[in-house]
Amino acid sequence: MTTRNLCVLTLVGVIVAFCSRPHLNADPPAKNDTPDPAAERRVPVAVARDRAELMHELFADTLDVVHHRYFRREGAVLPARAMEDVFTRLEKRSNVKARWIAVNTPAMSVNHEPETAFEKKAAEELEAGKAAYSRVEKGYYLEARPIPLGAGCVGCHTKLSPITDKKPRLAGLVIAIPVKDE
């Protein structure tokens, strides 16, 4: 990975971590206070919905920029794989989870197969043309949105499965944000 790629991914991580903080204008806790990090990060569903939309745009745009500006076939890290490193850091810092799912093309990794009932339903809804699919489950606001696969993506994603129709090829991005009980 080049220094430029690393800088872009680091910037994305900083932006996402900043956007996921529930109390941006709150005073920092006193040094002797030990707040519960999980409780401190819970937000109302409306806030989680807004943040999920913002983070989806951020991740989708970053993926697109990295793909078009920095991706080289000479052994560079695939942008979607590089983004998974950003997802891991984000989860460690904010308990916000993000993950790719296959929608209407073969998964490039077994880790991208929809696993949960939510992810399976989300893949169906996104393939049917929905702009987003969401619900609150087990203390998290879950939202999935489509990631359109461009010409460079489709070549790899569909080499095992030839395209016989003209419908857009999609992956999905699932974001899970901790929420407060309402």
pLDDT in tens, 18-55: 444 444 434 444 555 566 666 677 899 999 988 898 88
Supply 75's token pair. 């052994």
Rounded mean pLDDT of 133-157?
Answer: 86
Residue 158, pLDDT > 90, answer no
- The answer as to whether 30 is a domain residue is no
- The predicted model scores a pTM of 0.67
112 within some domain:
yes
Q: How confident is the model at residue 65 (pLDDT cuts 50, 70, 90)?
A: low
| CA angle, residues 154, 151, 99, in degrees to nearest 5 | 50
Tens-place pLDDT, residues 1-14: 454 544 444 445 54
Q: Does residue 46 lie within any of the structural domains?
A: yes
Determine, yes or no, domain membership for 31.
no
Query: Does some domain include residue 67?
Result: yes
Secondary structure class of 23 (helix, strand, coil): coil
Sign of torsion, CA 34 44 60 96? positive
Number of domains into which the chain is organized: 1
Count of CA atoms in the C-beta half-sphere (13 A) of 161? 10
In a domain, 107, yes or no: yes
Structural domain boundaries enclosing 153: 3-25+38-178
